[in-house]
Chains A and B, each alone.
Chain A
Amino acid sequence: MSQKILAKNKLDAFLQGLCRDQDLFAPVMKDGKVGWAPVATADQALWDFSNTEMSPKDFFFPQTECMMRFKNVQGDPQGMIMQAEPALNRPRVLLNIRPCDAKAFQVLDLIFVQDEMTNDLYWRDKREKTTLIGLACNDPCPTCFCTTVGSNPHGTTGLDVLLVDLGDKFLAQALTAKGEALVGDLPAAAGGDEAKAAELKKAAEGKISGGVAMDKVNSREVMELYDAPLWDRVMESCLNCGTCTFCCPTCHCFDIQDETQGQDGRRVRNWDYCMSWLFTMHGTGHNPRGTKKDRVRQRFMHKFKYIPVKRGGEIGCVGCGRCVRLCPVNIDVRQVVNDMNA
């Protein structure tokens, strides 16, 4: 795929092109926090930042999503029949998404879209209609550990275009046909530009100091890890709140509820989380994950053992470090995985 140059003084023209027929979103600074918002011009978007506080997964998997509606009238010929919600009506572009977050969507594709029967149309519709323009990390945070979980600060997985900040300009690498269409008209990069990007990539990789080792986690049997004594300590301080799962780009559990108000009814899906006892509570009163230890263990086992076993070695973590930064009791996933691997 082609390597192009996007000059910094041409960003506005580039963005204008992007939002002509599409909704354009990018990380912005708002109330002191970095989050996603619609943008139209280059100065509205952030070009030098670490990452958004929360993951962008809600573009594809909103925290609350109406799936269907129905007329809540028993006996009415039109009553109690589910009607589909309209699909996304405009394509979208996410600009300056970090490679770890784009990689996370590719991991979630393996879960939401597996085969004909497991084929989540809500996820798929938004994925198909969204273009991802990544911004390579030249300066990973101390909490980043992407290189140790199969991702990279300059990673291209899941992206249509990767931008690399070369200082005075961006190297724009088209990675898919969709990406090619966006950057095709830009001037071609010179050999020196690609060499500089490669240097920046190497430097960024070198800045990732901590991480996880997975070799023994991979070779050990599920039950050996499941029964390991470490969980008794990991769970001690855990609050069983939803912070780690809600900020995580790969956590994807949900709960579906039917809600009614007068004659209006809807089926709505909401984020749920393995830390909640209610998540696994059975109608019988039995709870297969009845203790805090069961729930804490589930999160780490799911990401680092069950997903790799079931999805051809793919890890359910991209090393973005959000849970490390936000956990109210500093449960550090790197430490937990290294303890699993000890």
Chain B
Amino acid sequence: MNGDGRESEGGEEVRGARRIPGPRGAADDLDLASVPLPPLPPPGGTAPDEAVPDQSAPKPERNEPEPPAAKPERDEPEPPAAEPEPEESEPPAAEPVPGPGPDLAPAPGPDAADGGPADRSPEPFVSSAPVDLPHQVLKALLGAWALSACSAEETAAVEDHLTGCAPCADEALRLRDAVGLLHTDGSLDLDPTLRTRVLDGCFGRRPARIPVPEWAAPYDAETARLDALLRDIGDSEWHAPVRLQWFEEERQVSRRTSVAGVIGHLMAVDGLLSAALGLDDPLDGGGAPLDPTERTETYWSATRRPPTRAVREPWRAQSHELIRTASFAGRNVAETSVSYGAFALPLQDAALDRAFECWVHGGDIADAVDYPYPAPSAAHLHRMIDLAARMLPGALAGRRGTGLAGPAKDLVTAGAPGRSLHLEIEGHGGGDWYIALDSPAAVGAPERAVAQVALDGVEFCRLVAGHISPVEAAAGQEGDREAIRDVLFAAASLSRL
């Protein structure tokens, strides 16, 4: 439970409950004797909550119109017999907490604990005769009383009752102490790098008999990272608008969806890998399209609108199942072909491609809900860059076929070093790649480099993801201009919805 709209899901982690402070010391307990008494409520029918207007600056929430139900309890007398007795659902009785004597008062609210204005601090009823409520009604009010969540009149009635009813007084102390265990601490996000450290530590002590294959590690890490972000966002943030960007027909295009829509997109395309591994395709029934864009559109149009956070669980179950199945199949499936419709990738590259997409869209989501989202680990980023570099000669050839890239200038025999562009990636995950310019069959080679492009690793990935245009890609450039232009545009053309 927390106040910022972030909610833990499924209750599997205490994240959602991080509002509980250590018990307060006695000094924090509200001692009635030490609290200046508020002025008596003005006579008449003033709403209870407005009885002491000058005590403190009321919180905005408290100024919201009271629900019409705020009439005093006595107007709706409840026959004690009709009151469901909660006894049977009570927790195993804890031993009575030795409470500090007679200072019975509701625990101060969070503001009081911080020393802030305690606008909900008890409004001790001074002397007028408390409303006459039956024992059962007062007992049922104890929780609300301990939380300072009832009217001044009810508070007074409860407190009056406590002086004469020992069982209620015992419970009142216990519940008031329990309020002291609640807290409003801010959230504490888990360091995303902790996962790798924890798992590596475990495998150092007891090696895994069925390891996650090396090629699936980036997908494992990126899906876990995105999942941790999703766990931390609130219901409403799932509907935050996200603009997906990519590069199509030589220009940047975009499509609007929501955070939940992005997860649906990831799930729909990840389903290609599921199918390749013999698992259920999330787009059920045969004949689901292979093309990632068509799959996504199919999924979006079939899904109940608008998609909600409910999409997280099937997405996560699918990614866990993929990783698990890949672990058992291991090497045997690394080369299994995964068709994307217009092209195909061996499973190990497809898993890397999905890890890349997961990171890119994780970043889109993080932007939409204003969260930080760092780049993948250097090792994983390096492999993502490598995949893009390996795909570039094929993309260049495809573009040449449609006249979008310049003609081949020097065809060499297959496997021989051909004219190359030196792609120098700096920083995190960086390295040197030599892109064969004239044919995918040629081999990129330093001695045949005719141009050089220097780019930051994350910038290069943003280019490949269609998040920056090839013209914008602020690159150090040297050599054959046409080769540079062709490669940068080919890199952008690797992007898709």
The answer to whether A and B interact is: no
Q: Which residues of A are interface residues toward B (Cβ below 8 A)?
A: none
Q: Which residues of B are interface residues toward A (Cβ below 8 A)?
A: none
